[in-house]
Amino acid sequence: MSQKQVMTAVWMGLVMVSAASATISTVNLQNHNNQFSDTGKIYGGGLSGVNAYTGVYSWTNAGSTGIGEYVPNWGFCIDLSQHPKTGWYTMADLESSPQPGAGMGTAKANAIRELWGRYFDPTWTTGANKQFAEAFGVSLWEIIYETGSNWNVSSGSGFHATNIQQAATANAWLSSLNGDSAYFAQNLAVTSSLNGQDFLTQIPEPATVILLAMGGLLGGWLGKGKRKSRPA
C-alpha cells in the first residue's frame, strides 16, 4: 500500500468516526482542580471585580462517547458566567461556544486558533510557569468578551483583569495576531454545557485519533514518514 493510499484511508476513517459520533460525542468531567492556575481579579463576562482562577484547569475524563474519548485531562475556562460542573458535557466547536449564548463566531474563533498555534505551551498542563498559563487564559477571555476595538487584558469596555503577573506578555501576544492561518491550531474543541462552565482543550491530531480508534495498526508505518514543522 502506498503512502498516499494509507493517508487516504486515515482521512476516510476520520470522516467516518466524525460522522458516526457527531451527535453522540460527550465527556464526563470529574475531580475538577485549579492547581495549575493563579488568581486574578476579573471584570467582564458577568463578573465585576471577582477573584477568579486563571490558567490551566484540570479534571478526570471519567467516561465518554465519540470524540469525547480523546479529551485530555486539562483545559482553559472560556465561560466566566458559570461555575464548573461535575458530570456530562457535550463536545462543541469554538464558533458556537460558550453556551448558553450566541457563540463567539468565526473571527474570534480564528483569533483563538492563532493565539494557540503561536503561543500555547504544553508544559503548562503540568503546572509549569503558571504565570504564563494565566496570561494565556486571560488572553482567551479578552478575545471572547472584549467589545471594544483593541485587545488589552488590562483595560477595555467588555473585559479586563488586574493582579495578572504577565499582563504585558498577554498584550504582546494579542497585538501580534494578524489572521495568519498558517498558525491556526488544529483540533481545538470545547466541552460545553448549558448549566456549567465551558472549557477549551485540544484533542489529538486527526491521524492520531484514527490510529487510536484502529488500535494503532498503522502506527509503525506512519512513524517512518517525515512531518512538517509548525511555522516558527
Three-state DSSP at 110 gives: helix
Q: Judge whether 190 and 68 are in contact, CB under 8 Å.
A: no
Name the residue with cell 493565539: 115
What per-residue confidence (pLDDT) applies to 7? 47
Domain ranges within the chain, ordered by starting residue: 3-222
Indicate yes or no: pTM above 0.85.
no
Angle made by CA atoms 220, 64, 190, in degrees to the nearest 5: 90
Predicted confidence band of residue 11 (pLDDT cuts 50, 70, 90): very low
Average pLDDT over the chain, rounded to an integer:
85
Instruction: Taking residues 120-125, report their average pLDDT.
Output: 98
Distance of CA 25 to the CA centre of its chain: 16
Instruction: Taking residues 151-176, report their average pLDDT.
Output: 97
Instruction: Taking residues 196-212, report their average pLDDT.
Output: 79
Give the list of residues 6+ apart from residue 215 with CB closer than 8 angstroms, or none: none
β partners of residue 74: 58
**53-112 pLDDT tens trace:** 999 999 999 999 988 999 999 999 999 999 999 999 999 999 999 999 999 999 999 999
What per-residue confidence (pLDDT) applies to 208? 60
Distance (Å, whole) CA 160 – CA 139: 10
Predicted confidence band of residue 204 (pLDDT cuts 50, 70, 90): confident
Percent of the chain with pLDDT strictly greater than 90: 76
What per-residue confidence (pLDDT) applies to 231? 42
**127-144 pLDDT tens trace:** 999 999 999 999 999 999
CA distances for 76 relative to 21, 163, 191, 198, 215, angstroms: 24, 18, 10, 8, 29
Residue 114: what residue type? E
